[in-house]
Amino acid sequence: MTTLLDVQGLRVSFGPRPAVNGVSFAIASGETVALVGESGSGKTTTGYALMRLLGDNALVQGTAVFEGRDLFTLPEAEMRSLRGRRMSIVFQEPATALNPVMRVGDQIAEVARVHGESVKAAREMAVAMLERTGIADPARRARAYPHELSGGMRQRVMIAMALLLKPALVIADEPTSALDVTVQAQILALLGELKRESNTAILFITHDLGVVAQTCSRAMVMRAGEIVESADVETLFSAPSHEYTRELLAAVPRLSP
Amino acid sequence: MTGTALLQVEDLHVRYATRVVHGVSFDIPRGETLALVGESGSGKTTTARAALRLVEPEVGSVRFDGIDVRALGRETMRAMRRRMQIVFQDPFTSLDPRITVGETVAEGVLAHRLAGPLEAKKRALAVLAEVGLSSDEFTRLPHELSGGQRQRVAIARALAVDPELLVLDEAVSALDATIQSRVLDLFERLRDERRLTTLFIAHNLAVVQRVASVVVVMFAGRVVEHSAANAFFAGPLHPYSRALLDAVPAPDPARRRALPVIGDELLGPSAVGCVYFNRCGHPRKDAECEAEQPRLSAFADGRAAACFKAGGASPVLRPPVRPLDR
């Protein structure tokens, strides 16, 4: 396994107290790694920092070497050429992440357009990708606006955008937290199929330990801006070494047989 | 059971542009918790709102403590509202952004003339402490709180007027597990101490299993299963109930199994026959299901389901797919 992303000493502060306080980890090609924590733990900030989506009020320190280059020192133009093509993000709430006044097909196609595809080719790619996500009658659906689709369908659109150009890394920020469980199961299956096809690695940001146990091979537990434990999921769930991990595991609601 | 029921909903129909609730009936005995489960758009929130007369039902009766609430005038309904409180999923939209946490919680106490200003403040502080908020939060505005704290303020506001019925509409769903667990402890205590009756709307069946004595499953505006919680979790009758249970990801990698891809949400409810027909993964579904909507029928162990193929063992559904990393 080759290292795809190597993060060292990541620190993000918006004020005197750092939101992310010295986080280091690596992700191999094709791997699915969970970044688990409760609200305010810094997991989403970590994901946004890697995508360089934080505003000017954020002070980002450390290094994040992705395919041989440090994301934090790249000129913005080069970062733009990576986003969507080599690395992409799926947000929790597709209703707010999608542009409400643009047809979903055009939004998907835009990803390919930005990276040099012709209008016609981009449009065809968008429809093919929509079909790939299981949406029936994709040519018609491509002309829909986000509000005309269900939450599950909007998330399929987000995933279609994120995986259109077969990126090496997808940061999935609570991609199924706003969805019904049956839809969640389908979205997780879809993400799984698409990532296998393109050997995409996923950094899965979530608070849901059920989703982690079922989908990820490794997990990192964050609390108050720090990773307190990192292990393969079998070890993490059966023999957690940190007190906080044990607390989290104890609080998870479980179905008893 | 009718004699002791606090809330009785019978043959409830609700129409907005189209009918969204079709003939829903249930009783909740005092001190019990009934869970209403089903996907978004299944009609569970509308059912709860209609039960509290926050929307007017088209047809049907709602009795609270034996009183027909649909027949009540404005003033009596207002007084009745103290006894039936609701907490919504999104506390950001249900809290007034301009008034402090303390005022929010004390407001109902004052409005229902349960106490004077001093006593109301004391009550507010006490109930905020019960949901795990400190007096530091008392003078804060909603935007100064985290999502979890706001939700606990909304819960405290409902509890402050000492209701008999509490409707929790996904009220704990967005809370972090550690806080969710504490809030559920609180409900269990209130249920035992005050015989608080709860209509619990949630999508997380693991949480439902912890608190509910009865589970009502809705699909496309109809009740498809209505079962005692123990029997339901031991083996639900309806294929949709089975799908909901199977889709819950177990927090245990040793029990890693493929999450079922069943009941595809892209297939809407069927217009004729069983509403669940299009999405049904039952191995024995047939022409009868395609032709007619089954009625809710009683089975053993306090279970009832609207499925022609119900009975016997819980259905095993279509084969699943691989999860992400396997």
- pLDDT in the model for residue B283: 86
SS3 label, residue A154: helix
B201 CB within 8 Å of a chain A CB: no
**Which residue in chain A has the smallest CA separation from B42?**
A180
Q: What is the pLDDT of residues B9-54, one digit of tens each?
A: 999 999 988 889 999 999 999 999 999 999 888 999 999 999 999 9
Q: Is B161 exposed, middle or buried (0-12, 13-18, 19+ CB in 10 A)?
A: buried
Between chains, do B243 and A182 touch, taking CB under 8 Å as contact? Answer: yes
- pLDDT in the model for residue B259: 63
Residue A188 contacts residue B256 (beta carbons within 8 Å): no
CA dihedral B250, B252, B254, B259 (to 10 degrees): 30
Query: What is the spatial distance between Cα B259 and Cα B263, in angstroms, rounded to a whole number?
Result: 12
Q: Work out the mean pLDDT of chain B and round it to a whole number.
A: 88
- Planar angle of CA B212, B218, B220, nearest 5 degrees: 165
What is the value of pTM for the model shown?
A: 0.89
DSSP E strand boundaries for A124-212: 169-173, 201-206
- pLDDT in the model for residue B41: 85
List the single residue in A193, A207, A210 with the smallest CB-CB distance to B249: A210
Q: In chain B, helix, strand, coil percent, each to 5?
A: 40, 20, 40
Give which of A184, A199, A214, A256 to mutate to test B binding, by max B Cβ within 10 Å. Answer: A214
Query: What is the spatial distance between Cα A163 and Cα A13, in angstroms, rounded to a whole number?
Result: 30
Chain B segment 151-180 residues within 8 A of A by beta carbon are 176-178, 180
Q: What is the mean pLDDT of each run of 10 residues along chain A (257 residues)?
A: 94 94 97 94 96 94 97 96 95 88 96 95 95 87 92 89 95 89 85 91 95 95 97 97 95 87
Question: Is the pLDDT score of B322 beyond 70?
Answer: no
Percent over 70 (pLDDT), chain B = 92
- pLDDT in the model for residue A137: 86
Between chains, do A180 and B203 touch, taking CB under 8 Å as contact? Answer: yes
The DSSP symbol for B181 reads H
- The H or E element spanning position A194 is helix A181-198
Contacts of A175 in chain B (CB under 8 A): none
Q: What is the pLDDT of residues B260-270, one digit of tens each?
A: 655 455 667 78
Residue A130 contacts residue A108 (beta carbons within 8 Å): yes
The DSSP symbol for A13 reads E
Query: What is the spatial distance between Cα B315 and Cα B240, in angstroms, rounded to a whole number?
Result: 10
**Which residue in chain A has the smallest CA separation from B206?**
A255
Q: What is the pLDDT of residues B87-140, one digit of tens each?
A: 988 766 778 889 999 999 999 999 998 999 999 999 999 999 988 888 888 999
How many residue pairs bridge chain A and chain B with CB atoms within 8 Å of each other?
Answer: 145
Give which of B265, B280, B326 to mutate to test A binding, by max A Cβ within 10 Å. Answer: B265
Between chains, do B264 and A186 touch, taking CB under 8 Å as contact? Answer: yes
Q: Name which of B211, B220, B214, B218 is nearest B232 in CA terms.
A: B214
Order of strands across the sheet that contains B19-29: B19-29, B5-15, B59-64, B67-68
Specify the higher pLDDT residue, B182 or A168.
Answer: A168
Long-range CB contact pairs, A72-77, < 8 A, 24+: A76/A52
Question: Is the pLDDT score of B169 beyond 70?
Answer: yes
Query: What is the spatial distance between Cα A156 and Cα A152, in angstroms, rounded to a whole number?
Result: 6
List the single residue in B253, B261, B265 with the smallest CB-CB distance to A152: B265
B267: left (phi over 0), alpha (psi -120 to 50) or beta: beta
Chain B segment 231-250 residues within 8 A of A by beta carbon are 233, 243-245, 247-250
- pLDDT in the model for residue A208: 92
Measured in angstroms, the CA of A160 and the nearest CA of chain B are apart by 16
- pLDDT in the model for residue B272: 87
SS3 label, residue B227: strand
B300 CB within 8 Å of a chain A CB: no
B76 CB within 8 Å of a chain A CB: no
Question: Is the pLDDT score of B2 beyond 70?
Answer: no
